[in-house]
Amino acid sequence: MSAYLKKIETLANLAPGSISEAKTLEELEALRLEYLGRKGAVTEILHSLAQVPAEQRPVLGKRANELKKEIERLIKAREAELENEQFDREIARHRMDVTLPGFKPWIGSIHPLNQTQARINEIFFSMGFSLAEGPEVEDEFHNFEALNTPADHPARDVQDTFYLEGGLLLRSHTSPVQVRHMQAHKPPVRIISPGRVFRRDTPDASHSPVFHQVEGLYVDEHVTFGDLKYTLEQFALQLFGPAGKLRFRPSFFPFTEPSAEVDCLCVFCSGKSCRVCKGTGWLELLGCGMVNPNVFKAVGYDPERWTGFAFGLGIDRICMLVHGINDIRLFLESDVNFLSQF
């Protein structure tokens, strides 16, 4: 075999293996230059054809050209393979695995106080009460004077009330909404008014400087304490079920006469005595009474013609009773671990 043919066949043996082993397009390009580039092995063979004896040239030339074509074909094929592999890698990088567990989106929940308030509203709406609203920033007239609370009453002490500039204050109860509503509407009146109230209390498990009340007011001709009792008893039955028994104790509020404080049978021990009711079997629920004639006078209602009852209950307290929550501060802490339980 001529040295020329030997060169060709050596290359023909070597090239397929080296091309198929190229791992990257860059490596493949280096091989292409090595074989087919201007100074490449195949190019050199073709150039040196001139030195081959003339009668052998057609056969050897043909074989050299076959080699060139074969190498070109192998490089092209390997190039396509490498490009496919690269494409597959890209796809794999972006592919999503539909068998992976999904992310659960966070869904908010209604605050337990709002849930309790909504339940209380619903019960009173079913008895024909409607919703009234009043401002959280009040003046002394609506928060105190019109409610028959004289200037020297302890409830007006700076210890209890947050005073603002210009004779304004943060309402210390929802009772001023009674006054505003009666000033703006003629009797009969049947309203409830839920909302935030503010007192200068040091926070502890049962005190918070911000808490929530629902005020109730019913004014008509011939309204009696019996109406008040029946209304609140029905409310307790609907809220707590058959266990919702009430006890009325004589009390004092400047804006009602007579006044009562109302306890419900302890929902935790059914009146048997436990830690929550401190052994008494009863839990304080609300304050109420017959509207004091002085309040009617302050809003321009004729106390000879109209009578009415009013009550004020703490939403936070009821919510704590219903859910067995032992610290009022939890309501304001925005702790998702707490809130997501409701």
Nearer to ligand DAH, 19 or 285 (CB): 285
Cβ of residue 294: shortest distance to ligand DAH, in angstroms? 13
Rounded to the nearest 10 degrees, how much is the dihedral formed by the CA atoms of 90, 93, 96, 102? -160
**175 vs 307, beta carbon nearer ligand DAH:** 175
What is the smallest separation between the CB atom of 289 and ligand DAH, expressed in angstroms? 5
Could you tell me if 236 and 264 are in contact, meaning their C-beta atoms sit under 8 angstroms apart?
Answer: yes
Smallest distance from ligand DAH to CB 188, Å: 17
Q: How many residues does the chain have?
A: 342
Residue corresponding to tokens 């009460």: 129
Q: Which is nearer to ligand DAH, 61 or 254 (CB)?
A: 254
Strands 137-139 and 168-170: antiparallel
Minimum CB distance to ligand DAH, residue 164 (Å) = 19
Q: How far is CA 174 from CA 35, 137, 193, 194, 198, in A?
A: 95, 11, 7, 7, 10
Specify which residues 288 forms β-bridges with: 260, 311
**4 or 211, CB closer to ligand DAH?**
211
Minimal distance, residue 267 CB to ligand DAH, in Å: 21
Q: Which residues form the interface with ligand DAH (CB under 6 A)?
A: 173, 175, 215, 253, 255-256, 287-289, 310-312
Residue (195 or 287) nearer to ligand DAH, CB: 287
Listed residue (196, 139, 134) closest to 163, CA to CA? 139
The pairing of strands 130-131 and 189-198 is parallel
To the nearest whole angstrom, how small is the minimum distance from the Cβ of residue 253 to ligand DAH?
A: 4
Q: Structure tokens of 27?
A: 């490596």
CB closer to ligand DAH, 4 vs 198: 198
Number of Cβ within 10 Å of residue 217's Cβ equals 24
